[in-house]
Chain A
């Protein structure tokens, strides 16, 4: 015989307005096994919780149902209250009569009847709950950070400064990411490199940061606290331990006209190169697509020039294993390709803007290099076609963003701000020049952000037109920009010398592949999914894997850095414990009925189902079976669905509980 307590919450007016809570409490008393029923205005408040605690002790309750809000909101609260009164926390069930009932219904009588049914089901379930114990797993106190842009750098430094080891993996030859290539940053106009490069140096020199550049994560096995990451160290053809970074090699390399990735094709580099002078590590890499020695077996000048003997043309990719406890993904973004060719069928480009066709139509990151003191022109604004100083520059925002027809419905968030910044940088360098901006809306929420945009318009006299550009053509060395000013209701034609397109932010190439390797979610745009948009913004649905920066959604530097520190904080919380506690509401296999078909092993999205042997005391094989790794299982229930003999079941959501809930309604 059960002794169940039912506690109905008013949630102030939220529930009580639409549900007759008194009636729900009275009706609950009639359900089999219910010993006590009460209602209170705020069950989650201290008096509400003490009501629960007191009743558990006074009536020796062996299970409780709280009829209140979503379990996402307060299940933990009420489990804590039960535990404080000596009741196993997993003997607490929530009947969600707010989100599932009062908030979505108007008719009080019907809503009350539904609330009673919801409580009835929860009572039927809690009667079959088992007292569970939290699962304890050991923690490897080392963090893997994937991507060494500003977010990855921040997270790495935070964790390393707190005393833990960090493995930082970067795909490019240098850390720094997109921010290293920016000119000045809004809204304070501090020089991007001036604020970032000291951090890059810190990362390179930190005794607790193990830095891999030219490297990618090949695979990740294991589970929270106990991952094993395999890292592919790609062939760099330069031994960075021997190399002193003297520069003899790249100054001698005869391949001079390779488009620089760091300059987005606005400048050139050699076949052996460092991406930019402040690179960390300040060690070159050889581009095997461009190197004459690697392609054709001729040349070899760099090896002759290298006094340290660091050049190794026979270098091969290597796979290295690292034990890891937690993972932060900070893979950042790339810009949407403006031209007609697109990587996927969902996206389409802007043939009408002539990007890729007219040399003087460039994207925002290319403009950043053009105005950067470290850029290919040394910060002198010269247009790409003939090197002339442009006197009229047109900036077009929302190129790709917020355009369902192009396949991207979201706002890229940072373009309004950097476009304003671009007009100012331009005006500061070309005093007699005129910046023109075509925009859809100006989105400048943020500390000192709107003031910044006003400054661009009022002090630096950028001309803003609310409207879209329909076509750009080239005539006599001028770009004819035809657009509309919808506020004035007139068409606008501008003869421009340079056009800068603020194209949309997209997740970095390969971030979807990485997400699949890590078994974390991503949305239809390829951005990685957080566990909860408000309450778990840097966590993913895979325990121990966190996200930060623009791989999650378009965001600017301050937000990326804040999120990186948040993710680092979450990792440090994990590392502050000797052992990790995991929720025991996970799958279990009935090994006596399991036929070892291993459908669950193939299906488990977390690779938590494993093949195992059952042996007798003498060590003889009795049978084979599937078994759940308690560290890995997230309790999704896929194995339960796929098991043909129903030998898999979910603790806390057993078939018996679910059937009992359904049967209680019949």
Chain B
């Protein structure tokens, strides 16, 4: 049983002192998503679970000072979570040798199964220290990855604007999207900057637009597509669409799929002579 295998692996890691803490998924009341648990003793591993409600991207916890204070971590990741880990590595935010990564082969998560999982390309993590389990339910065609976005882009610009106005007007600026994002690691977020204020902090339509558009741009060529922001949003804004439109643009123009190559340089701030530059002319 995979869950037992996971617990056994973690027990050994803690017992032989390889790591000080396991960041994994813990049980939740029926019908709810699992929660993050931080396990520091070999006995504690019985709390660990693995099921289709292991939705959160635990990589976000790696940036937290209180988690860092616990010592070298082992972290349980799915393939999509792992992409975020790789981006952090590329951006000098973590030393890969200082993290033990436990990859879980994933049949998809969520009830119902999430959109990202239906067109998942990876399912099995690639750069982990250990990979547990096997894929039993392959995803539907990966080519369906952009279907939702393509459907949305069929609308006229006016219709799309109206959609975002309606959706973003509901944003309460709780910044949950930022807090759960493993790649929002800035010590001071641009929205918290004043003198001068770059983004209006009030939950007005203008300020909301500025926030979400800036966040999408800051995630361009970085977003791992884990959809943590979309799950976290208390008012249910489909932030996935914004992130996907940037992802599609960077993939089509620069062949960039974030987090799929630990050796690759981050796209932003890199220059290649073959880059498209028709927009500069």
Seen from chain A, the residues whose Cβ lies within 8 Å of a Cβ on chain B are: 592-600, 602-603, 611, 624, 642, 644-647, 655-656, 659-660
Which of B185, B188, B270 sits near A602, CB closer than 8 Å?
B270
Tell me if B188 and A645 are in contact (CB < 8 A): yes
- Bound CA span A596–B94, Å: 11
- Contact A645 B91, beta carbon cutoff 8 Å: no
B266 with A602: CB separation less than 8 A: yes
Q: Can you list 19 A-B pairs with a CB-CB distance of less than 8 A? A: A592-B187, A595-B186, A596-B92, A596-B93, A597-B91, A598-B91, A598-B92, A599-B269, A600-B269, A602-B266, A603-B269, A624-B92, A644-B218, A645-B187, A646-B193, A655-B196, A655-B198, A659-B196, A660-B196
Interface check B154, CB cutoff 8 A: no
> Would you call B195 an interface residue if the criterion is a C-beta within 8 Å of the partner chain's C-beta atoms?
yes
B interface, how many residues as a size bin?
A: 10 to 19
- Given the complex of chains A and B, what is the CA–CA distance between A655 and B269 in angstroms? 20
B173 to chain A, nearest CB (A): 18
Closest B-chain residue to A626, C-beta based?
B92
Interface residue from A595, A611, A655, A656 paired with B187 (Cβ < 8 Å): A595
Distance in Å from the Cβ of B224 to the closest Cβ of chain A?
15
User: Which chain B positions have C-beta within 8 A of A598?
Assistant: 91-92
Contacting residues, chain A, for B268 (C-beta < 8 A): 599, 602-603, 642
> Do most interface residues of chain B lie in helix, strand or loop, or is the interface mixed?
loop
* One of B91, B93, B198, B266 near A646 (C-beta < 8 A): B198
Q: Are B196 and A645 in touch, CB under 8 angstroms? A: no
In addition to A603-B268, A611-B92, A645-B186, 12 A-B residue pairs with Cβ atoms within 8 Å of each other are A593-B187, A593-B188, A595-B93, A596-B92, A599-B266, A599-B268, A602-B266, A603-B269, A624-B92, A644-B186, A646-B190, A655-B198
Inter-chain CA distance A596–B95, complex, in Å, is 13
- A594–B187 touching, CB < 8 Å: yes
Contacts of A595 in B (CB 8 A): 93, 185-187
A602, B186: Cα distance in complex, Å: 17
User: Which chain A residues border B195 with CB–CB below 8 Å?
Assistant: 656
Chain B residue at smallest Cβ distance from A590: B188
Query: Which residues does chain B contribute within 8 Å of A647, judged by CB atoms?
Result: 188
B269 touches A642 (CB 8 A): yes
Q: How far does the alpha carbon of A624 sit from the alpha carbon of B195 in the complex, in Å? A: 24
Say how far A203's CB is from chain B's closest CB, in angstroms: 35
Question: Which residue of the partner chain A has the closest CB to B63?
Answer: A595
| Minimum C-beta distance from B141 to chain A (A) | 34
B window 156-189: CB within 8 A of A: 185-189
Interface presence of B265 (CB below 8 A): yes
Q: How far is the CA of A593 from the CA of B192 in the complex (A)?
A: 11
Q: Which residue of B lies closest to A599 (CB)?
A: B269
Complex CA gap A647/B92 in Å reads 17
Which residues of A have CB within 8 Å of B187?
592-595, 645
Which B residues are in CB contact (< 8 Å) with A624? 92
* Chain B residue at minimum C-beta to C-beta distance from A663: B196
CB-CB under 8 A from B265, the residues of chain A are 602
- A645-B92 in contact given A599-B268, A655-B196, A659-B196 (Cβ < 8 Å): no
Nearest B residue to A660 via CB reads B196
Known: A593-B188, A645-B186, A645-B189. A656 touches B196 (CB 8 A): yes
Q: Which residues does chain B contribute within 8 Å of A645, judged by CB atoms?
A: 186-190, 193
Residue in B closest to A645 when the chains form the complex, CB atoms: B186
Give the chain A neighbours of B196 by CB distance below 8 A.
Answer: 655-656, 659-660
B214: nearest chain-A partner, CB-CB: A644
Give the interface centre of B187, B193, B218, B270 by most chain A CB atoms within 10 Å. Answer: B187
